């Protein structure tokens, strides 16, 4: 990387690391503002001659000459909240490396800065952010080095710990001996493990695991699964004394065989041999592992087994749209497939884009649980009814009306939003029947999306079966929480 730049959404620079060429960050910011993908290419500027190159620009020309001869450079950027993180590249590298680092940079800032990470909070904690960038990137801001908040807090004092410095100075003036916060950095440097310092002590030893999975699935209009994949993350929060050596056993480690990424503390050789996650944990919160699981894709002669479909997709959704001379009719049906009646699906939301020129929409809801049908037959953009079948409304949103590259103008689109608080195994299927006026030439969008939460279960069935602690004599309290998020696209035509 040539460096790191943080800007607002309009491209105004908030802060950045040092760049060898002052032209590179300007070109990178302009490219990021006009790009429709997280990786874009900046063509080399037109080569200038000696006659029209000022002496003040000699250094910039010297540093950018190689890029001009090579045709340009790549720019990786990501958007989080109201900020844009940009990293121009000056060498061939997998773009996932800088993109992942930029995302982790925002997570570190979020862990450090009280409240949301905004332009104002970055300026208020300018010295802390610069210190973090100094520790997170090496070689003058060109190579990612550290990206875990649990490690960085041993090197850079968080803003909410500045009072400790005041207390330390007051105690020193009063002749009271206190351990300064900076000694933790020395303990980290002296430790045999780069991610964990020596001398950690807790009154009670606890460790917590959060398993989070996101299901992405595509269904046919009849509800048949066309494709599905599950992205999972196992996050650990460690509050253990000393140097504990942990061995984590999973119920079905084959879920991780397809594509798993581990924290640097995990012994990969032990995982390959015994399928056991063996590690000495960093202190604090860190992502232990992440994975991507893709079940077999159904074909004409085979389909997903009922057990696998039940584990992956606890919700059946069918949709039909019929176009007529006066408008379009829509019918949706949500059927719960959760095996546990005590763990219903939560926060269900179905978003149906409407055809151009849609108006005078009316809808009838039915089924669901806890109160029967909810009905709202009058059109408009206000909130719908309430009850077991949820509520509906029509909202306006801006979408890109351009072609490839995303450079077209934005237009306003009407979207029908159907929300249900919960839907359990004992509830009736929830239904929505709607119709709206549309021009005869209008065509309804070819798909709709549905999202839902599974607060206490995962899709793959992956669970922690046992945790062994070696090297320390104390007992450990273990906590495990699982949750899932489903994102389903349903083809309607």
Q: Which of 257-271, 328-342, 369-383 shows the highest mean pLDDT? A: 257-271
Using only C-alpha atoms, the chain has a radius of gyration, in whole angstroms, of 27
Residue 9: pLDDT band (50, 70, 90) is confident
Q: Residues near 200 by Cβ (< 8 Å), separated by ≥ 6?
A: 240, 241, 242, 283
Q: What whole-number distance in Å separates Cα of residue 94 and Cα of residue 444?
A: 39
Cβ pair 232, 293 in contact under 8 A = yes
| Residue 347: predicted pLDDT | 93
Tell whether the model's pLDDT for residue 189 goes beyond 70. Answer: no
Cβ pair 3, 41 in contact under 8 A = no
Question: 113 vs 290, which has greater pLDDT?
Answer: 290
Helix (H) or strand (E) holding 75: strand 72-80
Q: Per mean pLDDT, which range of 23-37, 39-53, 351-365 is the poorest?
A: 39-53
| Residue 306: predicted pLDDT | 45
Q: What whole-number distance in Å separates Cα of residue 236 and Cα of residue 226?
A: 34
What does the pLDDT look like over 76-126, one tens digit per residue? 899 988 899 998 887 778 888 888 888 888 888 888 888 888 888 888 888
Tell whether the model's pLDDT for residue 31 goes beyond 90. Answer: no
Tell whether the model's pLDDT for residue 308 goes beyond 60. Answer: no
| Residue 240: predicted pLDDT | 93
What does the pLDDT look like over 47-66, one tens digit per residue? 544 444 444 444 444 344 34
Q: What whole-number distance in Å separates Cα of residue 48 and Cα of residue 68?
A: 10
Residue 175: pLDDT band (50, 70, 90) is low
| Residue 298: predicted pLDDT | 52
Tell whether the model's pLDDT for residue 301 goes beyond 90. Answer: no
| Residue 108: predicted pLDDT | 87
Do β-strands 410-423 and 391-400 pair in parallel, antiparallel, or remain unpaired? antiparallel
Tell whether the model's pLDDT for residue 4 goes beyond 70. Answer: yes
Question: 18 vs 153, which has greater pLDDT?
Answer: 18
What percentage of the chain has pLDDT greater than the value 70? 76
What percentage of the chain has pLDDT greater than the value 90? 24
| Residue 420: predicted pLDDT | 93
Cβ pair 192, 265 in contact under 8 A = no
| Residue 245: predicted pLDDT | 94
| Residue 220: predicted pLDDT | 83
Question: 9 vs 64, which has greater pLDDT?
Answer: 9
| Residue 376: predicted pLDDT | 42
Measured on CA atoms in the order 236, 237, 240, 243, is the torsion positive or negative? positive
Give the mean model confidence (pLDDT) for residues 9-34: 85
Tell whether the model's pLDDT for residue 315 goes beyond 60. Answer: yes
CB atoms within 10 A of CB 248: 24
Structural domains of the chain, ranges and CATH numbers in brackets: 5-152 (3.30.450.60), 207-299+459-491 (2.60.40.1170), 314-454 (2.60.40.1170)
Secondary-structure breakdown of the chain: helix, strand, coil percentages, each rounded to the nearest 5: 20, 40, 40
CB atoms within 10 A of CB 137: 22
Phi, psi at 140, each rounded to 5°: 70, 35
pLDDT mean across residues, the chain: 78
Question: 32 vs 492, which has greater pLDDT?
Answer: 32
Q: In the chain, count of helices (H) and strands (E)?
A: 10, 24
Q: From the centroid of its chain, how far is CA 237?
A: 19
| Residue 382: predicted pLDDT | 41
Stated pTM of the model: 0.70
Give the mean model confidence (pLDDT) for residues 407-418: 75
Q: What whole-number distance in Å separates Cα of residue 427 and Cα of residue 483?
A: 21
Give the mean model confidence (pLDDT) for residues 143-148: 76
Cβ pair 346, 420 in contact under 8 A = no
SS (H, E, C) 200-227: CCCCCCEEEEEEEEEEEEEECCCCCEEE
């Amino acid at each position: 990387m040539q460096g790191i730049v943080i800007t607002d959404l309009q491209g105004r620079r908030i802060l950045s690391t040092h760049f060898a060429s002052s032209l590179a960050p300007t070109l990178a910011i302009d490219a990021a503002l006009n790009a429709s993908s997280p990786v874009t290419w900046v063509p080399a500027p037109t080569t200038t001659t000696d006659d029209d190159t000022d002496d003040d620009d000699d250094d910039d020309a010297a540093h950018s000459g190689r890029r001009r001869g090579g045709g340009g450079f790549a720019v990786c950027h990501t958007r989080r909240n109201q900020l844009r993180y940009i990293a121009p590249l000056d060498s061939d590298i997998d773009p996932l490396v800088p993109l992942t680092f930029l995302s982790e940079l925002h997570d570190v800032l979020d862990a450090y800065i009280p409240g949301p990470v905004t332009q104002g909070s970055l300026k208020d904690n300018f010295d802390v952010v610069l210190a973090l960038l100094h520790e997170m990137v090496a070689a003058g801001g060109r190579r990612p080095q550290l990206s875990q908040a649990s490690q960085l807090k041993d090197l850079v004092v968080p803003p909410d710990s500045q009072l400790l410095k005041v207390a330390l100075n007051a105690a020193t003036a009063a002749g009271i001996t206190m351990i300064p916060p900076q000694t933790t950095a020395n303990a980290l440097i002296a430790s045999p493990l780069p991610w964990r310092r020596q001398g950690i002590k807790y009154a009670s030893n606890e460790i917590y695991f959060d398993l989070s999975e996101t299901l992405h699935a595509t269904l046919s209009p009849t509800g048949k699964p066309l494709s599905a994949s599950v992205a999972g993350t196992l996050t650990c929060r460690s509050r253990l004394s000393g140097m504990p050596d942990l061995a984590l056993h999973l119920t079905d480690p084959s879920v991780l065989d397809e594509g798993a990424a581990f924290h640097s503390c995990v012994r990969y050789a032990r995982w390959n041999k015994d399928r056991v996650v063996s590690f000495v944990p960093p202190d604090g919160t860190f992502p232990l592992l992440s994975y991507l699981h893709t079940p077999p894709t159904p074909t004409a002669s085979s389909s997903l087994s009922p057990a696998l479909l039940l584990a992956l997709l606890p919700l059946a959704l069918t949709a039909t749209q019929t176009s007529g001379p006066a408008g379009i009719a829509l019918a949706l049906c949500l059927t719960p497939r959760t095996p546990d009646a005590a763990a219903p699906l939560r926060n269900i939301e179905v978003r149906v884009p409407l055809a151009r020129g849609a108006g005078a929409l009316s809808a009838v809801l039915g089924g669901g649980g806890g109160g029967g049908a909810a009905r709202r037959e009058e059109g408009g953009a206000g909130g719908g009814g309430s009850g077991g079948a949820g509520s509906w409304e029509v909202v306006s949103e801006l979408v890109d009306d351009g072609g490839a590259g995303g450079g077209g103008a934005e237009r306003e689109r009407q979207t029908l939003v159907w929300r249900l608080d919960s839907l359990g195994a004992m509830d009736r299927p929830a239904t929505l029947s709607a119709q709206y006026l549309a021009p005869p030439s209008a065509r309804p969008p070819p798909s709709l999306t549905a999202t839902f939460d599974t607060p206490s279960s995962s899709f793959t069935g992956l669970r922690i079966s046992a945790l062994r602690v070696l090297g320390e004599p104390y007992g450990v309290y273990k906590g495990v929480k699982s949750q899932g998020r489903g994102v389903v696209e349903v083809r309607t035509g």
